[in-house]
Every structure is written in structure tokens, then in C-alpha cells.
Amino acid sequence: MEGKGQIALVTGASSGIGRETATRLAENGFEVIAAARRMDRLEELSDQVQGINPRQVDLSQPEDVEAFCKYLSGLDEPVTALINNAGYSLRGALEDVSLEALRRMFEVNFFSLIRVTQACLPGMRRLRKGTIVNLSSIVGKFTFPMSGPYASTKYAVEAITDALRMELRPFGIRVIGIRPGPIVTEFNDVANELTGDLMARTDPDYKPIYQASGAGVGKLFAGLTVPGPELISDLILEAVMSDAPKAVYAAGPFTEEILGERTRLDDDAFDRFLTEKTGLAGLTV
């Protein structure tokens, strides 16, 4: 896909993968609508990079999403590259995550993605072209223990991405899933802040489970070099610019050693493998 004269939309462009992706797309000739809540960050980016157009939206607020979609529907030139990137994580065992917090995470990670995509599709269909890139995760295909709520948002993104790819191919619209492993961005700090002190508030029953899985996952990360967001923004750019993009791109730690096993092993064998890896094998409380 040629960038010049095309409009791209990147959600979550104020930091991390979204910021790098917006930059890469603008450098390749796209006019980029850069959306997020932190307008100061977006304005700073637009001062640094030509072709970045900041737009404030809180994707956890359905009315705000509607107003944003109205703006998208009214654009003279439709969005032809849509990067659904905004997202965040909350950690915790199911009993430690409120339904309200889970609903809010689904609003940002899933429902806003659906609504923004719906708003962009009429323009893409009219032109019979477009590229939609959805940020999933390696945890779109398996979940670590104490991470089910976040992973469930990404499993949902995977399903809609797979269905859309087939539905939209007849219109010449390409749909691509991205599955990053851990990447150094603000993601972890945001997750820590939103999750709070799980050990302080959980039922004592769960403490040994948190401790064992914390140690197990800690071991997985020991000595690991975690890459920066450029690894993923380069992949997204490659997917958008390619004449024949892949259905899914995965990159970063654990893509081979855990995500790979997910495809190689059957459900029972994978359950045993990951229970072992995350320190929970044989644990009884």
C-alpha cells in the first residue's frame, strides 16, 4: 500500500507501540490521525513529526467513542489504514478483578476497536481498499495464570480479527493480527498502577498461588532481553505497506517457546507445559 495521500488512524498513539507506529506511518507519507487521551503527548509528537494530527478520545467512554466515530464518518478522505492499538492490562485472579474493571478494560481493548472499525468500514468499502491492523498479543492465544481478564480481551480481538479477514477480503480490505510478546513500553507501569497491591487485598487462600506463579513467571523473565516498541511498529509498517501481508505477525519474547508450543501441543499437553512453566505444577492449597 502506498502511503502518500492516504489517511491512517492509530489509536493509543500517545506512547509505546502506537507512538512509534504513528511516527513510522507519517514518515512513509501517511496523514496520521493520532488518537489517545493525553493530548499533551499527542501535540508534542505532532510538533516533532510532520503529518501527525492529534485527536483526543477516551475509548473507555462509549459517548466519547461515538463522538469520535462521528468525526471519522465525516472525514472528506476516509481512513484507509486503521491501526487498532490502544489497550491496557489488569492483573489478578478472577476473584480479585471487579466486573466493573473488567468491563472498562473490554470497552478499551475490544468494544471501542469494534466501534471504530465499524466507523471506518463504509469509507474503505467505497474505495474497495484498506488495511486494518489489530493489536492482539501472545496472550490472545494462551493465558498465563492470574492474567485471564486481560487475555480474555485479546482472545476476543483474535476472533473478530479472523472473522473480519474473511468477510472483508472480497472488498479488497486486508485484516492483520499482531501478536507481540513482552515489549518495553509504559504498558507494565500502567498495569501495575491499575492492578494495585494484589497481595494486600487478596484472600489468604490465593497468596501461595500468587507467590508460586510470581516466582515461576519471574524465572521465565530472568535474563531475558525485552525489546522496545520499534520491533512491533516495524512489523506493522511492513504489514501495511506489503502487497501480500500475512494474516498474523508475532514477534518478541515467548513467541516461539510458548506461543509455538500452543500450536504444537494438544490442550492437555499445553496445560501441563504452562502449569509447569508458571510454577504451579503440583501446588495444592
Question: What residues line the site for ligand NAP (CB under 6 A)?
Answer: 12-18, 36-38, 41, 57-60, 85-88, 108, 135, 137, 180, 182-183, 185-187, 190, 229
Nearer to ligand NAP (CB atom), residue 185 or residue 206: 185
Return the number of other C-beta atoms located less than 10 Å from residue 33's C-beta: 24
Q: How distant is the alpha carbon of residue 148 from its chain centre?
A: 15
What is the smallest separation between the CB atom of 89 and ligand NAP, expressed in angstroms?
A: 6
What is the smallest separation between the CB atom of 56 and ligand NAP, expressed in angstroms?
A: 9
CA distance 33 to 56: 10
What is the smallest separation between the CB atom of 62 and ligand NAP, expressed in angstroms?
A: 11
Nearer to ligand NAP (CB atom), residue 108 or residue 235: 108
Cβ atoms 63, 56 nearer than 8 A = no
What is the smallest separation between the CB atom of 262 and ligand NAP, expressed in angstroms?
A: 15
CA distance 139 to 135: 11
Nearer to ligand NAP (CB atom), residue 134 or residue 206: 134
CA distance 52 to 164: 27
Decide the pairing of beta strands 31-36 and 52-56.
Answer: parallel
Nearer to ligand NAP (CB atom), residue 208 or residue 260: 260
C-alpha cell at 37: 487521551
Q: First vs last Cα of the chain: how many Å apart?
A: 55
**Coil/strand/helix, residue 110:** helix
Nearer to ligand NAP (CB atom), residue 88 or residue 206: 88
* Closest C-alpha among 53, 105, 104 to residue 75: 53
**Coil/strand/helix, residue 69:** helix
DSSP state of 259: I
Query: At which residue does the C-alpha cell 480490505 appear?
Result: 173
Nearer to ligand NAP (CB atom), residue 7 or residue 42: 42
Catalytic residue, from 71, 88, 150, 155: name it: 150
> Does residue 206 carry a catalytic annotation?
no
Side chain identity, residue 29? G
CA distance 189 to 61: 22
What is the smallest separation between the CB atom of 135 and ligand NAP, expressed in angstroms?
A: 4
What is the smallest separation between the CB atom of 22 and ligand NAP, expressed in angstroms?
A: 10
Residues forming the active site: 150
